[in-house]
Structure 1
């Protein structure tokens, strides 16, 4: 087994090692196994370290069957002795998130008996799943404040393998999942947790921790957090958003919520007015369409190709046409990314629109449905809408001859 330097010194960034195994995986990715390594392999919710071995990029590190595989961007040339260097910025960031997560999890458990049952350290944020059905803003602020107080007190953090006797004497936040080689990460007088990840020696190195959001997740609550430089970056991004909004609305930060609420209410009223105007325009459009309807016996058939209309708009137009003229049939089609169809009939029309639509849809390789009074569907836009409607009109004419 490789000597795990990342446990001995999490600050180690360069080291010399001997290659004990070389190989190429089934997918063609070359790898090496070293007699000792400072590269932390993926596991326990923490991503792996990256860096270089003899100037070859390390793209992934994973422990497989007791061997730590260093997957490489290219085959490793040269002798058995290699020089390796970690990406310290990545390692430092991961330690900020992971150690910060330990402290925030402990704060939630200490204050609200909310246990952490899930943890994922992502590229941008970290999530923890808490055994609490609901969190309030006040609860989050209290946990944040306690976690940041522990961080700014710069308490010692110790990570070590312990004996069964030492383990029994510790006030563990959670029980270990293994019975041998148990490693405990402790924040003095605050948190004691089994963990195989890399951590700082002092809490002050974590930097501030901030909860970004929380939501219900599988009966628990998922909390999204950032720590250290990620927290500062997140606050900078949010500050820029607020600054831009403040400038656009000519409003101070403190007045933004009220002004945004006012604008949303105004938009709601304008949307309502706009919908009323659209309905009136559709009614006028329906009246004009009926003037150009095709007479067929006692029926009037409106054939109307349109552009960039939604199904709801076509349905509303069809409703207006058939309400104004109970003896009418509306064959409506709108072009766009898809060809949209709506067929509607008045109260005095015997032809079933869902059957007519079903027979028309194959020409556009479409799908749809409806009922005898109104049917709708969509399909490919390769065929001009006027041609689709001509086909539908032909089908309708055949049906009318058999009625």
Structure 2
């Protein structure tokens, strides 16, 4: 039997809306705490869904209940334990280097499903600084510093060396990265810094006047590198670029797209003017425009222009399967209430709006056409359900 498997017995059981919680005579599971998620694994044939500490007892969540006194084989998910240990030890390294070499304190820490993060006490940081930090960290990984985890009586703790003061008494669990960090910590950690492999900062964001660094380590860092490489290969293949030219090419394509969008907007404005002119040649109280192939933005621009002339404007966009109803505010009808009530009577589409404008979405073009015809008819005949 390996170090991740223990034979024990169930000592107590309770139930809540999450499931069945169990305590064990001897539990190897790490309970959630200190920014680190709980271990995963199994108790007997049941997956452990969560592990929490309550009044000093470790409670394990299962989907089904076991009887008190039941002998069970308990196994920790080794991959999850290793991953959490890597992410947590990586945080110790980041915190130590940021504080000792750069005078920046770590304020909070958390391990997520995909990445981990620390909030650090600084108002600004840029990617040049991040890359220099990663190089410092990588050297410590290459140096393969030992990581010692041990318990000592509180009176023997070298409190001036502690990374963060602790008010714990009795036996204190110390995590010491030789020559780098000395901390009172209850989490799981690797045995040597070389086991971290690599630490990559993936994002930085301003929060509450500080900076939040998101990072990945170990296999998470490897997977992040592979995803980035795959994305870069796709860009290379699409634009026939190299690592040296890819940035310039992407910027060039972005500039071209912006110029095309400006041209499209100018053309849409011309088209809108022409279509509005054509609609207004018909002296109708209700003006209808049908956009069978045009973009939704063009349809709404046309309807807004028609409504501005004092008509009640109805527009249909086939690609979005949407219907629009607008006026300039001089009409008594609240088109939002009207449209919603009409759709409820027809039992098609969903929509609403306010006094001056409303829209509805349909599940098919045939529904859209049916709704459009009925809405126009009711508006023209004054058969308003509101």
Name the TM tier (shorter chain).
Answer: 0.7 to 0.9
The residue that corresponds to 1:368 in the other structure is 353
* Structure 2 stretches lacking a partner, 5+ long: 345-350
Q: Equivalences for 1:320-359 in 2 at 5 Å?
A: 320-321=305-306, 329-334=311-316, 336=320, 338-344=322-328, 352-353=330-331, 355=333, 357=335
The residue that corresponds to 1:384 in the other structure is 371
How much does 1:84 deviate? Answer: 2.1
Please say which of residues 132-141 and 303-312 is displaced more in the overlay: 303-312
Q: When the two structures are aligned, how many residues end up with a matched partner?
A: 368
Q: Equivalences for 1:105-254 in 2 at 5 Å?
A: 105-176=95-166, 178-254=168-244
Q: 1:128 to 1:288 in 2, by over 3 A?
A: same
* Contact residue 40 and residue 48 of structure 1 kept, 8 A: yes
Tell me which stretches of 4 or more aligned residues in structure 1 moved more than 6 Å. Answer: 308-311
Q: TM-score, normalised by structure 2?
A: 0.85
Distance, in Å, in 1 between the alignment partners of 2:272 and 2:35 is 57
Q: 1:52 to 1:38 in 2, by over 3 A?
A: same
Distance, in Å, in 1 between the alignment partners of 2:79 and 2:277 is 69
Q: 1:179 to 1:135 in 2, by over 3 A?
A: farther
Distance, in Å, in 1 between the alignment partners of 2:159 and 2:68 is 50
The residue that corresponds to 1:348 in the other structure is none
* Contact residue 354 and residue 369 of structure 1 kept, 8 A: no
The residue that corresponds to 1:101 in the other structure is 91
Q: TM-score, normalised by structure 1?
A: 0.81
* Contact residue 99 and residue 105 of structure 2 kept, 8 A: yes
In the alignment, structure 1 residue 17 sits paired with structure 2 residue 4: no
Secondary structure at the residue paired with 2:183?
Answer: strand
The residue that corresponds to 1:8 in the other structure is none
Please say which of residues 140-149 and 330-339 is displaced more in the overlay: 330-339
* Structure 1 stretches lacking a partner, 5+ long: 1-10, 295-299, 345-350, 398-403
In the alignment, structure 1 residue 303 sits paired with structure 2 residue 281: no
Distance, in Å, in 2 between the alignment partners of 1:93 and 1:320 is 59
The higher radius of gyration belongs to 1
Q: Deviations over 1:158-204 (max 9, x none)?
A: 12233344334442222225345432211111112221101122111
Q: 1:316 to 1:30 in 2, by over 3 A?
A: closer
Q: Which of 34, 37, 41 lines up with 1:47 in the alignment?
A: 37
In the alignment, structure 1 residue 317 sits paired with structure 2 residue 302: yes
Please say which of residues 49-58 and 83-92 is displaced more in the overlay: 49-58
Q: 1:287 to 1:28 in 2, by over 3 A?
A: closer
Secondary structure at the residue paired with 1:123?
Answer: coil
